[in-house]
Chain A
C-alpha cells in the first residue's frame, strides 16, 4: 500500500527485464508466439494475440541496449547502498 516512486521504477525495470528474457527461438516459437507466426493477412484488424506478440517483439528490440545500461546502474547502486 505504501508505494513510493522508487518502488514503481523497480517494478517497471523488473517487468521490462522479464519481457526481454523471452527468447525468440527457444521459447516463443515453441508456444506459437514467435515473430513469424503472427502476421495474418492484411484483412481485418489484428487480434489481441498478434498485438501482444508485436508488443513483445518491439519491446525486446527497442529496450535491449537501454536495459543493459539501466541494469548496470542498478547493480552498482545496490552494491554501494545495499
Chain B
C-alpha cells in the first residue's frame, strides 16, 4: 500500500506542473498556450476514481502524513533532477525552440521549398530576447528539423524496402550516418565562425536548427524519386537544393554580416568579404549534403 500512496503523490506533481503558465495566449512572452481548462475536467474525474478505494486509508492520520511526505519527496527529487539536468542540457532554452504551432510549421515548410517571394527575413525581438517561433516566421525552431530527421530515416527505409535492400539494421545505420554528418557539419560551421571572429548571436542550437532544415528537401526529393523515377528525383532535388541555398543565404546574411552589408549596400573590406564567403560556403554545403545523403537511395 505504500507504493500505491507513492503513486498518488507522483500523479499529483505532473498535474500541478501543467497548471503553472496561467496568462493568456496572446502574450508574446508566453511560449505555450494555457490548456489548464481542458485538463481540469480530466483531473477531477481521475481524482474521484482514485478517491473511492483510498477513502478508508486516508482517514488514518498516519497515512495522511505518509502521503504528504511521499509527495514532498517526489517533488524534491524532481527539483533536484531538473536542476542538475539544466546544467548540462539547457532545457529552458530548448523549450523556446519547440514553441511552434501549425500555422508556423505550414508557413515555414512553404518557405523552405519556395523562399523567393518572402521579403522580410529579420527576426523580430522583444526586449532583447527573440520572439518565440510561433509569432515570427523567421525565427529558427527545432521541431521541423527533428521531425524531418525522423521522417527522413523512415522514408529511407521505405525507399530501400521497395528495392528489396531493407533490413532493420540498415535503419540504424542510416540514422547514425545522418546524425554523424550533422554533427560534423555543425562542428565545421562552429570552427569557421570562430576563426573568422564573427560577433554573432548564433547559438549552437541555432546552427543545429539551420542544418536540420535541409532534411525537408531531402524527403521531398526521395519521395519524388520513388514516385517518378530518377528524372523526378533529380529535378525535384535540384529545385530543393536551389531553394535551401537561397534560404540559407538570406537567413545567414542577416546574422553573420555586419549591419551595413546586410542591407544590400556593397561594403568593401576584407572582413566583410570573408564573411560573405563564409555565408556562401555554409549555404553551398547544404546541397552537397542533400545529394550525398540521398543518392544511394534511388536506383
Contact = CB atoms under 8 A, between A and B. Distances in A.
A8 B183 contact: yes
The dominant DSSP class at the B interface is: helix
A51 B194 contact: yes
B197 A4 contact: no
Interface string A15-53: 000000000000000000000000000000110100110
Interface stretch (B39-47, B89-97, B148-156, B172-180): B172-180
B195 interface: yes
Contact of A1 (B177, B194, B274): B177
Contacts of A81: none
Contacts of B197: 45-46, 51
Interface of B: 173, 176-177, 179-181, 183-184, 194-197, 271, 274, 296
Given A4-B173, A4-B180, A45-B197, 11 more contacts: A1-B177, A3-B176, A3-B177, A3-B181, A4-B177, A5-B179, A8-B183, A48-B195, A51-B194, A51-B197, A55-B194
Contacts of A3: 176-177, 180-181
Interface of A: 1-5, 7-8, 45-46, 48, 51-52, 55
Query: 4 closest A-B pairs (Cβ-Cβ)?
Result: A3-B180, A3-B177, A8-B180, A51-B195
Nearest to B292: A1
24 contacts: A1-B296, A2-B173, A2-B177, A3-B176, A3-B180, A3-B181, A4-B173, A4-B176, A5-B176, A5-B179, A8-B180, A8-B183, A8-B184, A45-B197, A45-B271, A46-B197, A48-B195, A48-B196, A51-B194, A51-B195, A51-B196, A51-B197, A52-B195, A55-B195
